[in-house]
Amino acid sequence: MKLLEIKDLTIHYVLDEDTVEAVNHIDLALEKGEALGLVGETGAGKTTTALGILGLIPDPPGKVISGEIIFEEENLLTKSAGQMRKIRGEKISMVFQDPMTALNPVLTVGDQISEVIKLHQNIPIAEATARACQMLEMVGIPAERINEYPHQFSGGMKQRVVIAIALACNPTLLIADEPTTALDVTIQAQVIDMIRDLRAKIGTSMLLITHDLGVVADICDKVAIIYAGEIVEYGNLTHIYNETAHPYTKGLFGSLPRLDIMVNRLNPIPGIMPDPTDLPQGCSFAPRCLNKCDRCDIEPPQNHEISPGHIVRCHLYAEDADDCREVK
Amino acid sequence: MHKYIFKRVLMMIPVLLGVSLIIFTLLYITPGDPARQILGPDASPEAVEALREELGLNDSFGVRYANFVIGALHGDLGISYTTRLPVATEIFSRFPTTFVYALLCTIVSMIIGIPLGIISATKQYSIFDNAATTFALLGVSMPTFWLGLMLILLFSVRLDWLPASGFYGPQYWILPAMTIGMNSSAYIMRMTRSSMLEVIRQDYIRTARAKGQTEYKIVVKHALKNALIPIITVVGINFGRSLGGAIVTEQIFAIPGLGKMMVEAISARNYPVVQGGVLFIAVATSVVNLLVDILYAYIDPRLSSQYQSGKKKKALQASEVTGGTAK
Amino acid sequence: MSTMSVSAAKKIPKKKSRFAETSRLFAKNRLAVIGLIVLILLALVAIFSNQIAPYGEDEQNLRNTLQTPSAEHIMGTDNLGRDVFSRIVYGSRISLVVGFISVGIGLAIGGGLGAIAGYFGGRSDNIIMRVFDMMMAIPSMILAIAICAALGPGMLNTMIAVGFSTVPNYARVVRSAVLTVKQQEFIEAAHATGSSNVRIILKHILPNCLAPIIVQASLGVAGAILSAASMSFIGLGVQPPTAEWGGMLSAGRTYVRNQPHLVLFPGIAIMMTIFSLNLVGDGLRDALDPRLKR
């Protein structure tokens, strides 16, 4: 059963002079119990997608232009603010990128964990506090530190607290937005391990936003590659890692250092992401694409399902795209 | 915390010495003879000379300053030239009026300024925000002495609702409180707005939203406490300033407070009162600043741990390390 | 490949100078622009006072005292029969000159000492800032009054008194700006290439901390005008018969019951000036620090 299905979601930031086309016609699906990795560069629209699901796009300047976000068979975009508040934190919760700023510096961690419990569960305060202690222990922090303030914790431990807040109400869907980017490498591994273990324990579905293909291979079942606000490739781990189809995904793998293959230098993707206020007319990736052909500049590509569940948005896989394949 | 307060009180001593030296020097170079001022233009030169000797005005700068400091340490700020009363007595007879007035203005300005600032920030660029910010800017721009006169004109002269001057009962407090209150609430409103705007952009506000918290609670529980420090700073500055006597306002409404006393003393060359008054005001300002700093520590746990001694800090860090490895 | 580089080149936005960018942001702030226009008009009034004012600054007409506004005297006359409008026109000179020069004095002394304190740190920082702590413990109005009493009344002394009493404010702003800039790497780079201290301060540090200084100074002019007017109001500062708005208000106070125009118009003049200065100051701050927007 599909837990979350995003259809044709488009989100723009309307500024004074230009419009940032952050997310363009995204389709995504997440089965119950699954973990989906959303992979892309900085500025590709990952966080906007996540905030869109939670209904937290800052407005102004953010505007949801079109699309549907179906969660447990209901469209979140048509829900009222009050209904969304009931969903946020209870059904869908989020772990933010930077634990240094995600916690309120003037409230104790205990307050911040029990807050979400009190909001969504009608239980006495003492019970909520006890539950907050449990959550702290669960993320590996001694419960006696419940009355301490965020500045008394290290970065890795703050992220554990953020995770404790996110999981406190046993959400059906956890959105983790680059949960380890701001942390030291050694701490990153700990936090990733912890997320995997907790997910196994609670059975929460997860949308993991990251630019780290290694982490995705570690904990996700499905992968979506996002580029300039579009999903360019979607499939399971085998599809993405072994049957890589989209030139951008290939480029991503090419730019990773690998131990198993002898290379003299890495192969970074040439160029930079297009300006989201001024996207190319055709394929967004065309200016940087090594397989580019004439039609890529003119016509935006369609989704092509090249094997069951493996979708690629590229002219290379269109039936009538022989001219492109020759160039390759 | 006690150690911190003790240190701060110690630090006040050089500041107060410096203040007394600055004001003493200023008065020393001020032209005019207080003895002549007291006795009037018809007094004989001998009488003036005798009074100069009596008041110690013929001593050297160093001796006079030393006498002043030694006296001040004993709580003796000298004798007022005009009333012949001890300066300390003069100050303490006027201080309660000024204090009550300062407190009143501070409360009024907070009641008006903080809610307006919060609403403006949460509804940035709305009609309310534009109206409130323009109004606040007007409030900041209005000279208090003019506003005071206009209020007198409207409420006492035209409408005859309120008394124009004096300080005898609650009805006398309304106009002065409105005058200063309008001005300081405008400052407080502007600071509240900008501080709240800064805070509601922070990630932890987004975290609170992601928890499903209501907007009202987000403002009251999460944002306000973080935004409070700059607001309290402005409130403290305004309160300290009013404690020093709202000089011009006290003139207009004939409030017998410290500000009126100071202005009269300066124009009458009543040196002991000026010196004592400034010293007292400096003490009051320093105490208010200290109280504000202590208040900071209650609001922001990061600051309270900074105030604590180094030893305890290390212990905290140690517990952090062990906590991190315990799994 | 060639098409890529062409399209990439097209994307690079034109480099805008800081000044142009600031002006553009400032121009978008309607209120700030209105404030600037009012200020320019005021400056013109001050420059061409002789041409604009229908009567002389101290032209008395004792047969025509305390007139309410009429076609002949659009703001009425005062107790000596002087035309209030003309005196307000002449008063703009005093207010603007006092405002800007006081800030100049405060900024020159405070800014200089603040820059030294921030740049050299250590003992010079300690000494300078402790002295300013002492000055800050005296309310600036009382300090200004005391200085003015010591120096005697008059326009120059008013400017010195108001300027001096604001020295610590500027010192603080400049010092903290210098401290922030000093820690940045291009300063270290300048040291590494052997630039002298003076050169580093003038060439690198000052331009980079101009923004907070400009904002503080533009708001400071408003404060200085207000302080100067308050001093005239309590009888220090600029002395009659010179037309000064605060002094006019003070003189008009006696007649407030029956001739409110004597306090109304000078007050409006002060308020308009300060209001537009504050508008410009706020606009500058928003333009120089776009962080506060959206």
Q: Is the pLDDT of residue B317 over 50?
A: no
What is the number of other CB atoms lying within 10 angstroms of the CB of residue C274? 26
Report domain extents, chain C: 19-48+84-292
Write down the ipTM of this complex.
0.83
Q: Is the pLDDT of residue C124 over 90?
A: no
Cβ-defined contact of B320 to A153 (cutoff 8 Å)? yes
Structure token pair of residue C199: 């050169």
Cα(B207)–Cα(B203) distance, integer angstroms: 6
Structure token pair of residue A168: 């406190």
Angle of the C155-165 helix axis to the C210-233 helix axis, nearest 10: 130
Which residues on C lie below 8 Å from A60 (Cβ)?
A: 294
Which residues on B lie below 8 Å from C95 (Cβ)?
A: none
Which of A306-310, B320-324, C62-66, C169-173 has the weakest average pLDDT? B320-324
Of residues B15, B251, B282, nearest to C234 (C-beta): B251
Cβ atoms of B304 and B313 within 8 Å: the answer is: no
> For position C294, what pLDDT does the model report?
37
Question: Is the CATH number 1.10.3720.10 carried by domain C19-48+84-292?
Answer: yes
Among C173, C149, C171, smallest CA distance to C161 is for: C149
> For position B114, what pLDDT does the model report?
93
Which string of DSSP letters, residue by residue, matches C236-266?
-SSPTTS--HHHHHHHHGGGTTT-THHHHHH
Mean of the per-residue pLDDT values of chain B: 82
Which of B299-303, C34-38, C219-223 has the weakest average pLDDT? B299-303
> For position B290, what pLDDT does the model report?
86
One-letter amino acid for residue A73 of the chain:
E
Cβ atoms of A173 and A140 within 8 Å: the answer is: no
> For position B66, what pLDDT does the model report?
87
Tell me the pLDDT band of C273, cut-offs 50, 70 and 90: very high
Q: Find the residue in B nearest to A155 (Cα).
A: B324
Cα(A62)–Cα(A68) distance, integer angstroms: 16
Cβ atoms of C67 and C77 within 8 Å: the answer is: yes
Distances (CA, A) of B217 to A219, B116, B197, B214, C132: 36, 17, 16, 5, 42
Cβ-defined contact of C294 to A61 (cutoff 8 Å)? yes
Three-state SS at A141: coil
Interface of A with C in 289-328 (CB under 8 A): 297
> For position A322, what pLDDT does the model report?
59
Residues in chain C: 294
Phi-psi region of A318 (alpha: psi -120 to 50; beta: other; left: phi over 0): beta
Structure token pair of residue A9: 């979601």
Distances (CA, A) of C84 to B127, B153, C75, C270: 37, 19, 6, 14
Average pLDDT over residues B239-252: 78
> For position B318, what pLDDT does the model report?
40
Which string of DSSP letters, residue by residue, matches C36-87?
HHHHHHHHHHHHTHHHH-SS-TT---TTSTTPPP-SSSTT-B-TT--BHHHH
Cα(A248)–Cα(A233) distance, integer angstroms: 9
Record the pTM. Answer: 0.81
> For position B295, what pLDDT does the model report?
86
Q: Identify the residue with better confidence: B33 or A167.
A: A167
Q: Does A280 touch chain C (CB under 8 A)?
A: yes
One-letter amino acid for residue C61 of the chain:
N
Structure token pair of residue C62: 């004792």
Of residues C138, C222, C257, nearest to B278 (C-beta): C138
Tokens 């990736």 — which residue?
A: A285
Among C245, C286, C281, smallest CA distance to C46 is for: C245
Tell me the pLDDT band of C38, cut-offs 50, 70 and 90: very high
pLDDT in tens, chain A (328 residues): 688 888 888 888 888 778 888 888 888 888 888 889 998 888 788 888 888 898 888 877 888 888 888 888 888 888 888 888 888 888 899 988 888 888 998 899 999 999 989 988 888 889 899 999 988 988 888 988 999 999 899 888 898 899 889 888 888 899 988 888 777 888 888 888 888 888 888 888 999 998 888 888 888 888 999 888 888 889 888 888 888 888 888 888 877 776 666 666 777 777 788 888 888 888 888 888 877 787 788 888 888 888 888 888 888 887 766 556 554 4
Q: Find the residue in A nearest to B214 (Cα).
A: A85
pLDDT in tens, B73-130: 888 888 888 888 888 898 999 888 888 888 888 998 999 999 999 999 988 888 898 8
Among C136, C63, C243, A250, smallest CA distance to B285 is for: C136
What is the number of other CB atoms lying within 10 angstroms of the CB of residue B82? 17
Give how far A127 is from chain B: nearest CA, Å. Answer: 18
Which of A30-39, A99-108, C131-140, C165-174 has the weakest average pLDDT? C131-140
Tell me the pLDDT band of B326, cut-offs 50, 70 and 90: very low
Which residues on A lie below 8 Å from B204 (Cβ)?
A: 101-105
Of residues B134, B157, B286, nearest to C137 (C-beta): B286
> For position B245, what pLDDT does the model report?
58
Q: Is the pLDDT of residue B246 over 80?
A: no
Which residues on B lie below 8 Å from A84 (Cβ)?
A: 212
Which neighbouring-strand residues pair with A303?
A313
What is the number of other CB atoms lying within 10 angstroms of the CB of residue B239? 25
Of residues A88, A101, A149, nearest to B210 (C-beta): A88
One-letter amino acid for residue B320 of the chain:
E
Three-state SS at A175: strand
Cβ atoms of A150 and A105 within 8 Å: the answer is: yes
Cα(A70)–Cα(A47) distance, integer angstroms: 18
Cα(C95)–Cα(C118) distance, integer angstroms: 32
Structure token pair of residue B203: 């990630």
Q: A61 preceded by cis ω (within 30°)? A: yes
Percent over 70 (pLDDT), chain C = 92
> For position B113, what pLDDT does the model report?
92
Three-state SS at C213: helix
Of B251-260, C22-31, C108-117, C240-249, which one has max mean pLDDT?
C108-117
Distances (CA, A) of A240 to A18, A222, A291, B112, B221: 35, 9, 18, 60, 45
Which string of DSSP letters, residue by residue, matches C145-191?
HHHHHHH-SSHHHHHHHHHHHTHHHHHHHHHHHHHHHHTSHHHHHHH
pLDDT in tens, C215-226: 888 888 988 998
Mutation for A interface: B198, B200, B204, B298, most A CBs within 10 A? B204
Phi/psi at C196 (nearest 5 deg)? -75, 165
Average pLDDT over residues C261-270: 89
Average pLDDT over residues B284-291: 86
> For position A321, what pLDDT does the model report?
61
Which residues on C lie below 8 Å from B141 (Cβ)?
A: 222, 271, 274-275, 277-278
Tell me the pLDDT band of C108, cut-offs 50, 70 and 90: very high
Cα(C66)–Cα(C259) distance, integer angstroms: 7
> For position B244, what pLDDT does the model report?
67
Three-state SS at C225: helix
Q: Is the pLDDT of residue C11 over 50?
A: no
